[in-house]
Amino acid sequence: MAEDQTQHKGLTMTVLATPDMANFAGNVHGGAALDLLDQVAYACASRYSGCYVITISVDQVTFLQRIHVGELITFIASVNYTGVTSLEVGVRVIAENIRERHLRHVMTCYFTMVTVNEDGTPTKVPTITVQTPDEKRRWAAAALRRELQKEIEQRSLEIRQNPESLAGERELSPPTAPTVGGDAPPDQPQHKSLIMTVLATPDTVSFSGNVSAGWVLDLLDQVAYACASRYSGYYVLTVSVDHVVFMQRIRVGELVTFHASVNYTGHTSMEVGIRVVAENIRERTSRHVMTCYFTMVAVGEHGKPNPVPPLVVETATEQRRWAAAKLRREFRKEIDRRMLEIRQNPELAAGAEEEEGGTT
């Protein structure tokens, strides 16, 4: 491996959180943060590999703290793992209050990228040379996350398709209407779902020629916000985004339709599921490109969590979505715990399995 390539394993980027990034609650919009994260992951992976890259998946993202307008946002990225054509990029995000000179860790997340040549075909990525103890720990953790990703995708599919078979002794039935807190307003059932369609214009393209994943992530967050806010009648904040898999690329010129629904409500939180369909206008063909889930929290005027109207579940489809969402709530806690264990102590999480990166 060339000497300068070794120096390109890491990347640090800093931006100022400007007012155009703000949501209606006055903090940095979750979609703006996701878009920036994808740009940083792209830059880190592309500079390391010397190739164009595309985003294949994003691990579960949890917004630990809000980012405020006027703060400096620093993204500390590193290539942790390389496969044949893929690589994992980890990104740690720090928010800095400029006036108080106070730093806060607001999130850590992981992107899986694939290197492609000029015609979009996957191409071999240079094998990473693991040298320092930190690099060895990151390699081992990334190898464990690769295995966890497969489990997450399999279990998520099972939960979505047949939640009742996974229930065991758990009660997955939704509350019956009327629920505690009284009947839902007459128009609430009409506000459980939302459909938004946009045209993928040339300004959304990435360097690989397809629509940028960051643009899609930003729109997903906007759709989740609109659906949850209209349902609850309050401003909302993005708390977490489940593991996102980009099953197919979206092309410039296609119509992109987001089918969103509120699947579950807690005391102050809601799960919003979004199915994304890309339509080739000329050929009149449609493709399902991804499905993902956002957890949103309703907030009042002073930014504190606010109770949301209990979801009135009526149809068989809504009952299935409720049951699946309840299982996902439990699964998220398990994923958070296992991801933390992997990040902090990959050797312990691995058990007897031995994982090593490329040799120095």
Residue 358, in any domain of the structure: no
CATH number for the domain spanning 116: value is 3.10.129.10
pLDDT at 77: 97
Residue 317, pLDDT > 60, answer: yes
229 plus 105 within the same structural domain: no
Predicted confidence at residue 352, as pLDDT, reads 36
Residues whose CB falls within 8 Å of the CB of residue 84, separated by 6 or more in sequence, listed in order: 124, 125
Count of CB atoms situated within 10 Å of the CB of 15? 15
Residue 25 has a pLDDT of: 78
pTM: 0.87
| Whether residues 61 and 81 fall in one domain | yes
Q: How many domains does the chain have?
A: 3
Whether the bond into 202 is cis, omega within 30 of 0: no
Co-location of 282 and 343 in the same domain? no
Question: What is the Rg, in whole angstroms, of the alpha carbon atoms belonging to the chain?
Answer: 21
Split at pLDDT 50, 70, 90, the class of 291 is very high
Domain identity same for 108 and 91? yes
- Positive or negative CA dihedral for 343, 344, 347, 352? negative
- Asked if residue 139 is part of any domain, the answer here is yes
Alpha carbons 181 and 358: distance in angstroms, whole number: 59
Same domain assignment for residues 208 and 281: yes
Whole-number pLDDT of residue 356? 45
Rounded CA separation 140/245 (Å): 22
Q: What is the pLDDT of residue 176?
A: 59
- Is 204 in the same domain as 298? yes
Going by pLDDT thresholds of 50, 70 and 90, the confidence category of residue 350 is low
For residue 2, what pLDDT band results from cuts at 50, 70 and 90? very low
Q: Is 242 left (phi over 0), alpha (psi -120 to 50) or beta?
A: beta
Distance of CA 180 to the CA centre of its chain: 33
283 and 266, same structural domain?
yes
Confidence of residue 348 (pLDDT cuts 50, 70, 90): low
Amino acid at 22: A
pLDDT at site 346 = 77
Same domain? 103 vs 150 = no
2 and 125 inside one domain: yes
Q: Which domain holds residue 276?
A: 185-312
pLDDT band at 162 (very low <50, low <70, confident <90, very high): confident
| Of 348 and 163, more confident | 163
Sheet of 72-82: strand order equals 10-16, 72-82, 86-97, 102-116, 52-58, 244-245
Residues 116 and 28 in one domain: yes
Lowest-confidence pick of 47-56, 71-80, 152-161:
152-161
Answer yes or no: do 50 and 104 share one domain: yes
Distance, in Å, from the CA atom of 114 to the CA atom of 86, rounded to the nearest integer, reads 4
322 closest CA partner among 310, 308, 335, 336: 310
